[in-house]
């Protein structure tokens, strides 16, 4: 089997896992609080990432991390998994899955905006157009096409879902290429993230053992949202002759996610959600195409 074929198959596998994440979040949140979902998902994901490092014989790479690198991974761990999932899970707890997922998907455009003040990059006209279209899509989703208000949707939830895009974009902005092993860096970040999550729980929450119904979604999220899928995606990027080629496939993920939300938990997909998401994804693809 050729490397490009392997890369495409891995990409399809990644899409199938990430497309189920929103449904797994909603199912998990039926039985536990957002904090409990975060704590145990992060715990299991950290264990799995450590196991992957051991299998690959790369655990020793962490020994080469100096203080500056550890400080950076601590910051990354604070952003993801801790802060990002604190905010995202709370958004999923109070919003329909389709709304939280679709709004969260606008993070690449937020990354474009953050690159202006932080990286001193110039905002091109095409980028400004893409951001404007994406914002219009987000408004359509949040108002369900009414454009006059949020109706019965939680305003707090909408702000949290929008805020998650800022956190995720910041994470990738600070997670620039630095020559470090990406899995070792992710594992170290998750160790710090687990520490932050535990401290947060001891101070402001309560750490409870989940009920039996919650264990499957907890473990599923830790495996296929936070850990294994990331390593599969890295493998696909290493095998492909064009990262852009397989990267574009990822943008079908949210549409599959809508389908799974409907089939698995019975969410009725509002037409405005599809239209708004189509605008967001189209604006991202347009920006990517113009960059190339």
pLDDT digits (tens, 9 = 90+) for 126-163: 888 888 999 899 989 988 877 666 778 899 999 999 99
Alpha helix (H) residue ranges in the chain: 3-19, 21-28, 34-56, 67-77, 84-94, 97-104, 107-119, 125-143, 155-174, 182-204, 212-221, 228-239, 243-249, 253-265, 271-291
- Report the candidate in 249, 196, 207 with the shortest Cα–Cα distance to residue 82: 196
Task: Enumerate the domain spans of the chain.
Answer: 3-291
pLDDT block averages, 10 residues each, the chain of length 292: 84 95 98 97 98 93 92 97 98 97 91 86 86 90 78 91 96 83 94 98 92 96 95 88 78 94 96 94 82 58
Please, how many CA atoms are within 13 Å of residue 41, restricted to the half-sphere of its CB?
A: 31
Residue 55: C-alpha distances to residues 51, 225, 260 (Å): 6, 20, 33
Q: What is the pTM of this model?
A: 0.93
Tens of pLDDT, residue by residue over 100-114, are: 999 999 898 898 889
Question: If you write DSSP's letter for every residue of 242-284 in order, what string do you get?
Answer: -HHHHHHHGGGHHHHHHHHHHHHH-PPPPHHHHHHHHHHHHHH
Structure tokens at 81: 């998994």
């Amino acid at each position: 089997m050729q490397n490009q074929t392997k890369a495409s198959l891995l990409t399809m596998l990644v899409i199938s896992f990430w497309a189920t994440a929103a449904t797994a979040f909603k199912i998990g949140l039926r039985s536990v609080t957002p904090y409990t979902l975060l704590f145990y998902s992060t715990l299991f994901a950290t264990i799995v990432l450590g196991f992957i490092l051991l299998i690959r014989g790369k655990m020793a790479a962490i020994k080469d991390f100096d203080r500056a690198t550890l400080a950076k991974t601590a910051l990354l761990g604070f952003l993801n998994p801790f802060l990002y999932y604190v905010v995202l899970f709370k958004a999923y707890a109070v919003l329909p899955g389709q709304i939280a997922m679709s709004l969260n998907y606008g993070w690449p455009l937020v990354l474009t905006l953050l690159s202006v003040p932080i990286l001193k990059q110039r905002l091109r006209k095409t980028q400004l157009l893409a951001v404007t279209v994406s914002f219009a899509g987000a408004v359509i989703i949040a108002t369900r096409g009414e454009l006059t208000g949020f109706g019965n949707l939680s305003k707090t939830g909408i702000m949290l879902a929008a805020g998650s895009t800022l956190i995720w974009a910041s994470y990738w902005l600070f997670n620039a290429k630095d020559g470090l092993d990406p899995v070792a860096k992710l594992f170290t970040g998750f160790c710090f993230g687990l520490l932050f999550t535990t401290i947060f729980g001891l101070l402001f929450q309560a750490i409870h053992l989940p009920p039996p119904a919650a264990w499957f979604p907890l473990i599923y999220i830790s495996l296929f949202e936070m850990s294994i899928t990331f390593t599969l995606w890295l493998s696909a990027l290493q095998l492909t002759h064009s990262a852009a080629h397989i990267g574009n496939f990822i943008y079908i993920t949210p549409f599959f996610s809508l389908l799974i939300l409907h089939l698995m938990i019975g969410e009725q997909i509002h037409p405005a959600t599809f239209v708004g998401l189509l605008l967001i994804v189209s604006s991202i693809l347009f920006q990517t195409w113009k960059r190339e």
